[in-house]
Amino acid sequence: MDKPFNNKAWFLVLPVFILVAISAIIPLMTVVNYSVQDTFGNNQFFWAGTEWFVEVLHSQRFWDAFLKNIAFSATILVIEIPLGIVIALSMPKRGIWVPFCLVLMSLPLLIPWNVVGTIWQVFGRADIGLLGYFLDWLGISYNYATNAVDAWITIIIMDVWHWTSLVVLLSYAGLVSIPEAYYQAARIDGASKWKVFRYIQLPKMNRVLLIAVLLRFMDSFMVYTEPFVLTGGGPGNSTTFLSIDLVKMAIGQFDLGPAAAMSLVYFLVVLLVSWVFFTVMTNLDADAPEKGVQD
Amino acid sequence: MSNTSLMSGSNTPTKLNFKWVTPTLYIVFLLLPIYWLVNMSFKTNQEILSTFTLFPDNPTLHNYAVILTDPSWYNGYINSMIYVALNTVITLSVALPAAYAFSRYRFLGDKHLFFWLLTNRMAPPAVFALPFFQLYSSFGLIDTHIAVALAHCLFSVPLAVWILEGFMSGIPKEIDETAYIDGYSFPKFFVKIFMPLASSGIGVTAFFCFMFSWVELLLARTLTVTDAKPITATMTRTVSASGLDWGVLAAAGVLTIIPGALVIYFVRNYIAKGFALGRV
């Protein structure tokens, strides 16, 4: 890196700093404030110390939601990453079908998240939805509103539908950057398809795949809108993820203390993952001096 | 779609190529739910609930007419458009100089600042919903477009800075140096020379600001009551009320997909880079 050191650059960054500080630090401080105080109404607050944190970390409700989040993120990663790679590998590299594929595949990424929920809510209903009707016709009993397993399957398929294209697009971007000469060399050596994948394509993709894994993990970890619209956290509490629980607690029941403590724990987890992401990114940037030149 | 086989077949004429099957199946999987939504939006409620038809028997524009004539529906679109536009303008105007600074200079705390920006992109909106509500209440900004626009800046500004930094790092530094030697002042250089060079990056960033603000529901819903209520919130409230006007709901959904679908063609080559925060 041959960037000159110049503190005047701060003037250029200042507007961003002020704007984000107002919209991030003040709210965060509010949360910290609530997390250490108790209230009996009337805007009277009392110091509560770490009481709420202890309560949250010992509550079954928090750990249930937390485990659901982990299970959800793990499941969608296991499905979306390999599926995305397979689809990216079989996409045409050039020709008129490339823009066609790219545009159609990006479509779900650009649909408002609650509309994604609505689409699947309708699609899965046995009375008016194509999927529900079809399953019903096959004799499979399926109802995401009353059966927890069905609700989970629907949410996972919905997420696969919504986000696999992100993995496809990223892998594809990695694949098309591989020079044709690599493949020619492999052909001369008589390398099998698997060997080409293992030693040429995968190493070239691992940068983008890391990004894909981290982004998908983080976004799925804070999933809110789609399951909220589809099931509202039900049936029972079976799809109540951390975000849904948190919003219910903070805005529905106005349990500010526990909600704030939970927010902070939640935020710390995200912070940790962001740090991993950032470290990976900066290392990758350092490894790839030609960054930004290709596309 | 069957033409795909002809295309891939022509690359390797000696043997049949079935590579096109996977993407085709995947695209069909993606399009089926969307097709169903579009299909429903052209049906009457009676047809939706009483019969099961793959295509509308009597295609009707009634559902769209309801949305385009009822202020409580179409105002939702107008509100969304307003705060999304505000958000995009605010974001770009602060993010452009900042991204330039990150891509060209080292300065005190630059790495920490860059990381801190990222944490905001990754922060769960659920954490911020309540404090935002209280912050904007105390300024009397609840139910205004600017409140939602500013709240969305929390995600869009970091996103914009990261994407723009990615694009700007690809522009050779020699251009800056030459311009300064030629006597350009910084603002003049930035607007006249640098911004045109980074125009594809700026376009993509604007697209992503637009998109992320357009798809977000939680904050937009929390911060608005009626006057600035976005279309996405209008939709969820209709679902929760017992109205269940499926046809209108479907039509509203289709109309929210259209803006993205219209511009997607122009950003198709950069969309991966945008989603990866400018790092592909």
**Nearest CA of chain B to the CA of A25: how many Å?**
10
Closest to B125 in 3D by CA, of B136, B116, B113, B133: B133
| pLDDT for residue B238 is more than 70 | no
Q: pLDDT digits over A229-250, tens only?
A: 888 777 878 888 888 888 887 7
Give strand pairing partners of A52. none
B122 or A121: which leads in pLDDT: A121
Q: How confident is the model at residue A292 (pLDDT cuts 50, 70, 90)?
A: very low
Q: What one-character DSSP code corresponds to residue A45?
A: E
Query: In this complex, do A106 and B271 lie within 8 Å of one another by their Cβ atoms?
Result: yes
Helix (DSSP H) and strand (DSSP E) numbers for chain A? 14, 2
**ipTM for the whole complex:** 0.82
Tokens of residue A280, six digits: 């990976």
Give strand pairing partners of A38. A46
Cβ–Cβ under 8 Å, residues A153 and A261: no
Give the burial class of A127: count Cβ atoms within 10 A of its Cβ; 0-12 exposed, 13-18 middle, 19 or more buried.
exposed
Tokens of residue B216, six digits: 């977000």
Share of residues in chain B with pLDDT > 70 (%): 91
Q: What is the pLDDT of residue B86?
A: 93
| pLDDT for residue B112 is more than 90 | no
Is B135 at the interface with chain A, CB within 8 A? yes
Rounded to an integer, the average pLDDT of B125-131 is 81
**Nearest CA of chain A to the CA of B129: how many Å?**
8
Q: What is the pLDDT of residue A26?
A: 84
| pLDDT for residue A2 is more than 80 | no
Share of residues in chain A with pLDDT > 70 (%): 93
Rounded to an integer, the average pLDDT of A4-16 is 85
Number of Cβ within 10 Å of residue B111's Cβ equals 12
Q: pLDDT digits over A65-96, tens only?
A: 889 998 999 999 999 999 999 999 988 887 88
Q: Is A5 helix (H, G, I), strand (E, B) or coil?
A: strand
Interface test with A, best of B236, B239, B279 (most A CBs within 10 A): B279
Q: pLDDT digits over B248-260, tens only?
A: 888 888 998 888 8
Structural domains of chain B in order of their starting residue, each with its CATH number: 3-41 (no CATH), 70-275 (1.10.3720.10)
Q: Which H or E run contains A172? A: helix A148-176
- Cα separation, B174 vs B165, in Å, equals 17
Residues 6+ apart with CB under 8 A from B84: B149, B210, B213, B214
Is B117 at the interface with chain A, CB within 8 A? yes
A25 or B95: which leads in pLDDT: B95
Q: pLDDT digits over A160-183, tens only?
A: 999 999 999 889 988 888 888 888
Tell me whether strands A37-39 and A45-47 are parallel, antiparallel or unpaired: antiparallel
Of A26, A90, A122, the CB nearest to B135: A26
Interface test with B, best of A32, A122, A271 (most B CBs within 10 A): A122
Interface test with B, best of A66, A90, A285 (most B CBs within 10 A): A90
Q: Where are the beta strands (DSSP E) in chain A?
A: 37-39, 45-47
Q: What is the pLDDT of residue A230?
A: 83
Q: Look at the block and give the residue holding tokens 């799809």.
A: A239
Sign of the Cα pseudo-torsion (A152, A158, A161, A166, in order): negative
Q: What is the pLDDT of residue B60?
A: 84
Is B4 at the interface with chain A, CB within 8 A? yes
Give strand pairing partners of A39. A45
Rounded to an integer, the average pLDDT of A195-205 is 86
Query: In this complex, do A212 and B276 lie within 8 Å of one another by their Cβ atoms?
Result: yes
| pLDDT for residue B240 is more than 60 | no
- Cα separation, A29 vs A51, in Å, equals 18
Tokens of residue B218, six digits: 């939680």
Lowest-pLDDT range of A146-150, A223-227, B238-242: B238-242
- Cα separation, B73 vs B98, in Å, equals 38
Rounded to an integer, the average pLDDT of A192-214 is 85
Listed by number, the residues of chain B in 52-111 with a beta carbon closer than 8 Å to a beta carbon of chain A are: 52, 90, 93-95, 97-98, 100-102, 104-108, 110-111
Listed by number, the residues of chain B in 228-267 with a beta carbon closer than 8 Å to a beta carbon of chain A are: 232, 235-236, 239, 246, 249-250, 253, 256-257, 260-261, 264-265
Q: What is the pLDDT of residue B67?
A: 84
How does the average pLDDT of chain B come out, rounded? Answer: 83
Rounded to an integer, the average pLDDT of B178-207 is 89
Q: pLDDT digits over B132-144, tens only?
A: 888 888 888 888 8
Query: In this complex, do A291 and B161 lie within 8 Å of one another by their Cβ atoms?
Result: no
Q: What is the pLDDT of residue A161?
A: 94
Is B33 at the interface with chain A, CB within 8 A? yes
User: What is A65-280's CATH number?
Assistant: 1.10.3720.10
Of B122, B131, B278, the CB nearest to A218: B122
Closest to A267 in 3D by CA, of A25, A17, A21: A25
Q: What is the pLDDT of residue A295?
A: 39
Residues 6+ apart with CB under 8 A from B248: B63, B66, B67, B73, B238
Of A92, A221, A270, the CB nearest to B8: A92
| pLDDT for residue A253 is more than 90 | no
Interface test with A, best of B108, B122, B223, B256 (most A CBs within 10 A): B122
